[in-house]
Amino acid sequence: MTTPDRTDAQKTVLKKHPPSKILVDGGDPEETRQVFKMLGFVDGQTTNPSLIAKNPEVKHLVASGHQLSEEQEAQEYRKIVQEISPLVGDAGVSIEVFADLSTSAERMLQQGREMFKWIPNGHIKYPCTFEGLKAAQRSVAEGIRVNMTLCFSQQQAAAVYAATKGSKSPVYVSPFIGRLDDAGQNGVDLITNIVRMFAGSDHHVLVLAASIRNLPHLLYSFYAGAELVTVPAKVLEQWSGEGMPLPGENFAYQPVGARIPYEHLDLGQPWERFNIEHELTRKGIEKFVSDYRATLRKAS
């Protein structure tokens, strides 16, 4: 197998919308506008605490000594997503709750309810943890759209499915490709495995391929049938620069780490029975917390 070489045999120049909805993975409305100009469309956007900390205005405030209170940070976040909201299509804007390893489902839900009011097209991001899943279960019962983030295993995706069954709106689950690669695994396998697991399901959960770091990740996600992909502007720039290729019939992907085997799981089980623990979910929460705290006043 070889990495896609982007010869004419291995790509089809885009004539229509790609097979997956395209979301911008970022925290700067200006970047979203640029991507729109470049592609002619943007279906949605995902944000997270690290991306918000990198927003030029937030960075400027922090650099000039104006560290924010938690309330100011939430106001900044709200301002950013309100500016992005009208720029995107029907995949909406994902807004992440601030959660550390001890945040309760109740506290996440309180934030989710508040954030969901910020814009008409929000999806609330909760982590794939026990408390995050409890918050998601209650959110969908209240009509709050959710995006379950920091997903690193098929078991976590199965738990998302079982916890949100009956949701009236599509639920997103976000498997993180790049961070699995970083940990020595072949991250794209998780996309294939989850898509396969959901093939015979009621399809209330859609796969949103995340942590996409390069063009092969993007093309593989199209190829595997992810319903949505969230992509940093610089990767979209490269994709656009190459004529927005799609994986052709001879598409091949060079595995980058240990293969992730498929697991046969019973989606009809109560969600609490799945093994939802994952070290990378824990590490991901810690990283989001430290990026978020870096923008906050020490006293808060």
Cβ 283 to ligand E4P, closest distance in Å?
11
The single residue of 11, 21, 125, 134 carrying the catalytic annotation is: 125
- Measured CA to CA, the distance from residue 226 to residue 23 in angstroms comes to 12
- Measured CA to CA, the distance from residue 84 to residue 119 in angstroms comes to 10
# of chain residues touching ligand E4P (CB under 6 A): 11
Closer of 150 and 195 to ligand E4P (Cβ):
150
Which residues in the 62-121 window bind ligand E4P by CB under 6 A? none
Cβ 38 to ligand E4P, closest distance in Å?
19
Cβ 244 to ligand E4P, closest distance in Å?
20
Is-contact 177 190, C-beta < 8 A? yes
Closer of 157 and 265 to ligand E4P (Cβ):
157
Closer of 249 and 279 to ligand E4P (Cβ):
279
Residue 242 backbone dihedrals phi, psi, to 5 degrees: -95, 10
From 81, 76, 123, 94, select the one nearest 230 (Cα to Cα).
94
Cβ 49 to ligand E4P, closest distance in Å?
9
Q: By CB under 6 A, is residue 149 in contact with ligand E4P?
A: yes
Span of 158-166, 171-179, 192-200, 248-256 interacting with ligand E4P by CB under 6 A: 171-179
Which residues in the 26-65 window bind ligand E4P by CB under 6 A? 46, 48
Closer of 137 and 214 to ligand E4P (Cβ):
214
Closer of 23 and 197 to ligand E4P (Cβ):
23
Active site residue 125: yes
Q: By CB under 6 A, is residue 281 in contact with ligand E4P?
A: no
Which residues in the 172-231 window bind ligand E4P by CB under 6 A? 174, 176, 178-179, 210-211, 230
CA angle, corner 82, sides to 290 and 207, nearest 5? 65
User: For residue 40, how many other CB atoms are within 10 A of its CB?
Assistant: 10
- Measured CA to CA, the distance from residue 269 to residue 31 in angstroms comes to 42
Cβ 125 to ligand E4P, closest distance in Å?
7
User: What would the x/- binding string for ligand E4P be over residues 241 to 280, using CB under 6 A?
Assistant: ----------------------------------------
Cβ 45 to ligand E4P, closest distance in Å?
9
Find the radius of gyration of the CA atoms of the chain. 19
Indicate the residue whose CB is closest to ligand E4P. Answer: 211
CA angle, corner 203, sides to 200 and 205, nearest 5? 125
Closer of 27 and 267 to ligand E4P (Cβ):
27
> Catalytic amino acids?
125
Under the rule (CB under 6 A), what is the footprint of ligand E4P?
25, 46, 48, 149, 174, 176, 178-179, 210-211, 230
